[in-house]
Structure 1
Amino acid sequence: MRVALVGLGTVGTGVIRLLDANRELIARRAGRPIEVRAVNARDRSRDRGVDIARFDWADDMMELARRDDIDVVVELIGGSDGPALALARAVLSAGKPLVTANKAMLAHHGLSLAKLAEQSGIPLKYEAAVAGGIPVIKGLREGAAANEISSVYGILNGTCNYILTTMEREGRDFNEVLKEAQELGYAEADPSFDADGIDAAHKLSILASLAFGTQIDFGAVDIGGIRSVSAADIREAAALGYRIRLVGVAENRADGLFQRVHAVLVPMHHPLASVEGSLNAVLAEGNFVGSLFFSGRGAGEGPTASAVVADLIDIARDEYGDPFAMQVEQLAKRPKANSGDTIGRVYLRFLVQDKPGVLAEIAAAMRDAGVSIESVIQRGAHEDGAVLLVVVTHDTAERAIRETLDQLAGSDNLIAEPVVMPILG
Structure 2
Amino acid sequence: MTLIKEKTLGEKVRGDFPILHQEVNGHPLVYLDNAATSQKPQVVLDAIQNYYQTYNSNVHRGIHTLSAKATDEYEKARQKVVEFINADSYQEIIYTRNASEAVNLVAYSWGWENLRAGDEIILSVMEHHSNLVPWQMLAKKTGAVIKYVGLTANQEFDFEEFKTLISPQAKLVAVLQMSNVLGCINPVKEITEIAHQCGAKVLIDACQSLPHLPINVKEIDCDWLVGSGHKMCGPTGIGFLYGKREILESMSPFLGGGEMIGEVSLEGFTCGELPHKFEAGTPAIGEAIALGAALDYLMKIGLDKIHAYEQELTAYLFKKLSDVPEITIYGPPPTAEGKGRAALASFSAGEIHPNDLSMLLNDSGVAVRSGHHCTQPLHKYLKVNSTARASCYFYNTHEDIDAFVVALKEAIAFFKQMS
Q: TM range, normalised to the smaller chain?
A: under 0.3
Higher relative contact order (CA 8 A, sep 6+): 2
Taking structure 1 as the reference length, what is the TM-score of the superposition? Answer: 0.25
Higher strand share: 1
TM-score, length-normalised on structure 2? 0.25
Structure whose CA Rg is larger: 1
